[in-house]
C-alpha cells in the first residue's frame, strides 16, 4: 500500500471516530460541556497525528533509502559508516580503521616497525561491519527506532573487532630491547708509547619492558598504531671531561725526554719509555694517571748496570809456601733506586726533566782489616782418608772427590758462624760412580761425596769445633774408622729428607777450611784458626759385633792448656754390607781404618 493510500485511510478512520464520538455524547445532560471537551481533544489530537504522520513518512522514506545500507550516525572507532553499504563499509574499515594498526611504529632511541601479526594483533572486519549494519535492525519497532535515534545523535559507536595477544607483543618488545639495550661506556685514557688517546664516554640505555608494553597497549586500543619505546638512560661512571683532564696530565709528563746524571755520565728516557711506565686507573668516577715504579725501574736497568760496582769481599788464601794471607776487599757502589724513583715520581708531572742519580757506597761484608785482625794462622785440625780403600778405583770417583773438595776449600767461617756441608757441595755437576745404598753397591751421581764429608768432619773435631749435625753411614766402610764417619744426602729442592753435616765455629777468630785430593791415595782436610792452645784426642772401639751388625763407641776429649774442658762419647750402629751376590758381608771381616785415617787393610 502506498503512502498516499495510507494517508486516505488515516483520514477516513479519523472522520468515522469523530462521528462516533458525537453520537456517544448526544444524551449528555450539558451539551455545552460536551462541546468544550470535544473541542480540546480535537486540539491535541491534531498535532499528534501530524507528528506521527511525519515520523511515519520519515521512517518509511529512510527505510526505502537505507534498506541495504548502514544507518546514519553509526561509527566504527571514530570513522562514520552511515549510508554505506556493507561492502563499502568493509573497505572503509580496512583502510581507515584497521590500516593504522597494520603496522605498529615504535619511536625512541631508534625507530622500529612491526607488523600487526608479529605483535599478536588480528582483525575481524566482517564481524565489525555486521555489528554496524545491525544497528536499528534488531528488536521490536520501538527498539529499532530507539537505536536509530541514538545513532542520529552520535550515540552508536561500534568498537572494531580486534584480537590482541599481549604475550606475543611482549616477545617482540623483548627482541627490540636486545637491539637497543647497551651498557654505558666509561671514558678512558689509553697510552701507546708516547701517544695519549681519549676514549669518550657514552650513555647506556635500558628499555623498560612494562612501560613500553603499556604504550603498545594504548597504541592498539586507541587504534593509533603509534607506540613509544620507554626506558632509562644509564650514565657512565667516568665522563669524557674527566678523561680529557687525565690525558692532559699524561701528555704533560710525556712532552719531553727525561735526563739522568751521575759520575759525569748521563742517560735519557724517551717519552715512549716514560709512557710504558705510566698507569691509568679509574675509581669513584675519576681517572688518575700515575707512575708505575716497577715498570720505570725496569727501564733504568742500564743506568743501574753502568753505575753499580759490586763490593769485593776480603778472603783467605794460601801462598806458595802454604801460609795464609788475606786477599784484600774493595768497596763497591750501588744506585739508591727507591730514592731515584721517589724523585722522579715527585717531579715528572710537575715538568721536571733532569734528575741526579743518588749513589751509595756498598761496603764488603768482610773487610781486609777485619780478616787480618783474626787471621787463622795456625793449623788446628787435620785429617786424611784413603780413597783407594774402595772397590771403585775409577777416575770418575777421584774427579768427584776433587769437585767436592774444591767446593769446600777456601771457605772461612766467622766466629759463632755455622758451616753447612750441603750449602757447598749439593747439586754440583758430579759423575756417575759407585755408591753404597742400604749396604749394597749401586751406581748414582756423587760417589765419593761422603768421603769428603767424613774427612772434613774429623778435621773439624780435631780443631775443637762444635758439631751440630751428623749422620753415620748405614754400614762400616773401609776408608773411615767406624764411629768417626759422616754422610750427606740431598734429595733436591723442596725435599725434607736431606742429610747434612754442620759444625759451629766456637773460637774467637775466623777458621779457614782447606781440602784437597793428593796423589798419594789420600784426601786431606785442614782447619786453620787463631792459636787457642786446644788439643783433641779421639778414639773408637767396637762394643758389639755380629755377622750382620755391629756397634761402635767413639770417645772424644778436648783440653786447653793441658786441662780437660770437654768430654763426650757416642755410639753408632751399623748394618752389614751386601756383596755382588746379595749376601751379607760379616762386619768383623770389613777392613777398619786407623783413628788417624791411615788405611792398613787389603788392597781393593
* pLDDT tens digit sequence for 545-598: 988 899 999 999 999 999 999 999 999 999 988 887 888 888 888 899 999 999
Asked if residue 229 lies in contact with residue 184, where contact means CB atoms within 8 angstroms, the answer is: no
Most confident of 125-139, 154-168, 531-545: 531-545
580: which DSSP letter?
T
Number of helical H runs and strand E runs in the chain: 16, 35
| C-alpha span between 230 and 108 (Å, rounded) | 7
Residue that wins the pLDDT comparison between 515 and 128: 515
pLDDT, residue 136, reads 77
Using the predicted structure, report yes or no on whether residue 7 has a pLDDT greater than 60.
Answer: no
Least confident of 9-18, 399-408, 478-487, 529-538: 9-18
Question: Residue 489: what are its φ and ψ, rounded to 5°?
Answer: -155, 135
pLDDT, residue 153, reads 67
pLDDT, average across residues 432-461? 85
pLDDT, average across residues 375-385? 94
Hey, where are the domains in the chain?
3-65, 66-188+199-237, 242-367, 374-589
Considering only the top CATH level, what class is 242-367?
Answer: alpha beta
254: which DSSP letter?
T
Q: Which residues pair with 75 in a beta bridge?
A: 80, 157
| C-alpha span between 388 and 315 (Å, rounded) | 33
Alpha carbon distances (Å) from 216 to 51, 115, 175, 420: 51, 13, 14, 86
Least confident of 313-322, 417-426, 455-464: 313-322
| C-alpha span between 125 and 127 (Å, rounded) | 5
Is residue 41 very low, low, confident or very high in pLDDT (cuts 50, 70, 90)?
A: low
pLDDT in tens, 103-143: 899 999 999 999 988 999 888 878 878 887 888 788 787 77
The mean of the pLDDT values for the chain is: 86
Residue that wins the pLDDT comparison between 512 and 394: 512
pLDDT in tens, 422-436: 999 998 999 888 777
Rg (CA), the chain: 60
| C-alpha span between 484 and 473 (Å, rounded) | 10
Q: Which of 133, 40, 119 is nearest to 84 (CA)?
A: 133
Percent of the chain with pLDDT over 90: 59
Asked if residue 345 lies in contact with residue 291, where contact means CB atoms within 8 angstroms, the answer is: yes
| C-alpha span between 450 and 486 (Å, rounded) | 7
Percent of the chain with pLDDT over 70: 87
pLDDT, residue 36, reads 53
119: which DSSP letter?
G
pLDDT, residue 48, reads 67
Using the predicted structure, report yes or no on whether residue 259 has a pLDDT greater than 90.
Answer: yes
pLDDT in tens, 66-109: 668 888 888 877 778 888 888 888 888 777 777 777 889 999 99
| C-alpha span between 229 and 177 (Å, rounded) | 9
Q: Which residues pair with 269 in a beta bridge?
A: 258
Using the predicted structure, report yes or no on whether residue 541 has a pLDDT greater than 70.
Answer: yes
Residue that wins the pLDDT comparison between 466 and 588: 466
pLDDT, average across residues 233-238? 94
pLDDT, residue 101, reads 78
| β strands within 95-217, DSSP E | 103-107, 112-115, 121-123, 156-158, 162-164, 188-192, 195-199, 204-207
Least confident of 150-154, 195-199, 263-267, 443-447: 150-154
Using the predicted structure, report yes or no on whether residue 25 has a pLDDT greater than 60.
Answer: no
Q: Pairing relation of β-strands 156-158 and 74-76?
A: parallel
Is residue 3 very low, low, confident or very high in pLDDT (cuts 50, 70, 90)?
A: very low
Using the predicted structure, report yes or no on whether residue 38 has a pLDDT greater than 60.
Answer: no
pLDDT, residue 131, reads 81
Buried b (16+ CB within 10 A) or exposed e, 30-57: eeeebeeeeeeeeeeeeeeeeeeeeeee
**Burial of 491 per CB tally in 10 Å (0-12, 13-18, 19+):** exposed
pLDDT, residue 52, reads 62
Q: Which of 482, 436, 486 is nearest to 458 (CA)?
A: 486
pLDDT, residue 28, reads 40
Amino acid at each position: 500500500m502506498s503512502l498516499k493510500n495510507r494517508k486516505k485511510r488515516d483520514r477516513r478512520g479519523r472522520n468515522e471516530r469523530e462521528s462516533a464520538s458525537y453520537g456517544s455524547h448526544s444524551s449528555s445532560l450539558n451539551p455545552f460541556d460536551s462541546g468544550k471537551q470535544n473541542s480540546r481533544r480535537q486540539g491535541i489530537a491534531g498535532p499528534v497525528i501530524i507528528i506521527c504522520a511525519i515520523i511515519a513518512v520519515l521512517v518509511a522514506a529512510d527505510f526505502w533509502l537505507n534498506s541495504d545500507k548502514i544507518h546514519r550516525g553509526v561509527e566504527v572507532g571514530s570513522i562514520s559508516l552511515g549510508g554505506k553499504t556493507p561492502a563499502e563499509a568493509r573497505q572503509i574499515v580496512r583502510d581507515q580503521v584497521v590500516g593504522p594498526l597494520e603496522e605498529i611504529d615504535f619511536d625512541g632511541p631508534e625507530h622500529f616497525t612491526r607488523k600487526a601479526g608479529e605483535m599478536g594483533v588480528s582483525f575481524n572486519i566482517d564481524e565489525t561491519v555486521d555489528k554496524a549494519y545491525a544497528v536499528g535492525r534488531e528488536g521490536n519497532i520501538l527498539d529499532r527506532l530507539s537505536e536509530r535515534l541514538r545513532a542520529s545523535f552520535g550515540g552508536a559507536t561500534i568498537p572494531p573487532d580486534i584480537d590482541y595477544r599481549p604475550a606475543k607483543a611482549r616477545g617482540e618488545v623483548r627482541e627490540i630491547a636486545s637491539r637497543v639495550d647497551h651498557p654505558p661506556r666509561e671514558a678512558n685514557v689509553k697510552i701507546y708509547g708516547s701517544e695519549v688517546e681519549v676514549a669518550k664516554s657514552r650513555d647506556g640505555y635500558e628499555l623498560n619492558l612494562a612501560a613500553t608494553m603499556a604504550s603498545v597497549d594504548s597504541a592498539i586500543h586507541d587504534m593509533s598504531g603509534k607506540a613509544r619505546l620507554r626506558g632509562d638512560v644509564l650514565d657512565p661512571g667516568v665522563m669524557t671531561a674527566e678523561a680529557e683532564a687525565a690525558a692532559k696530565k699524561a701528555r704533560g709528563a710525556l712532552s719531553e725526554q727525561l735526563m739522568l746524571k751521575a759520575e759525569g755520565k748521563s742517560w735519557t728516557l724517551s717519552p715512549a719509555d716514560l709512557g710504558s711506565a705510566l698507569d691509568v686507573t679509574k675509581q669513584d668516577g675519576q681517572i688518575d694517571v700515575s707512575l708505575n715504579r716497577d715498570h720505570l725501574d725496569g727501564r733504568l736497568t742500564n743506568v743501574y748496570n753502568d753505575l753499580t760496582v759490586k763490593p769485593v769481599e776480603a778472603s783467605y788464601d794460601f801462598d806458595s809456601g802454604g801460609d795464609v794471607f788475606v786477599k784484600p776487599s774493595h768497596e763497591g757502589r750501588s744506585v739508591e733506586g727507591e730514592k731515584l724513583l721517589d724523585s722522579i715520581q715527585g717531579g715528572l708531572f710537575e715538568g721536571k726533566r733532569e734528575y741526579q742519580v743518588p749513589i751509595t757506597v756498598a761496603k764488603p761484608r768482610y773487610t781486609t782489616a777485619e780478616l787480618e785482625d783474626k787471621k787463622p794462622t795456625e793449623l788446628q785440625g787435620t785429617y786424611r782418608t784413603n780413597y783407594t780403600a774402595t772397590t771403585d778405583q775409577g777416575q770418575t770417583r777421584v774427579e768427584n772427590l776433587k769437585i767436592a773438595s774444591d767446593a769446600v776449600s777456601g771457605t772461612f767461617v766467622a766466629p759463632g758462624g755455622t758451616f753447612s756441608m750441603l750449602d757447598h757441595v749439593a747439586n754440583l755437576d758430579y759423575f756417575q760412580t759407585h755408591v753404597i745404598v742400604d749396604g749394597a753397591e749401586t751406581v748414582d751421581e756423587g760417589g765419593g761425596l761422603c768421603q769428603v764429608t767424613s774427612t772434613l768432619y774429623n778435621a773439624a773435631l780435631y780443631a775443637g769445633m762444635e758439631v751440630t749435625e751428623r749422620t753415620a753411614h748405614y754400614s762400616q766402610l773401609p776408608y773411615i774408622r767406624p764411629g768417626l764417619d759422616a754422610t750427606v744426602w740431598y734429595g733436591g729442592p723442596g725435599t725434607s729428607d736431606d742429610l747434612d753435616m754442620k759444625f759451629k765455629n766456637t773460637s774467637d777468630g775466623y777458621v779457614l777450611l782447606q781440602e784437597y785430593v793428593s796423589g798419594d791415595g789420600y784426601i786431606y782436610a785442614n782447619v786453620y784458626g787463631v792459636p787457642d792452645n786446644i788439643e783433641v784426642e779421639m778414639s773408637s772401639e767396637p762394643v758389639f759385633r755380629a755377622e750382620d751388625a755391629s756397634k761402635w763407641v767413639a770417645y772424644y776429649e778436648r783440653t786447653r792448656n793441658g786441662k780437660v774442658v770437654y768430654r763426650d762419647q757416642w755410639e753408632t750402629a751399623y748394618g752389614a754390607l751386601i756383596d755382588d751376590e746379595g749376601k751379607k758381608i760379616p762386619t768383623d771381616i770389613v777392613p777398619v781404618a786407623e783413628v788417624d785415617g791411615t788405611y792398613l787393610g787389603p788392597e781393593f
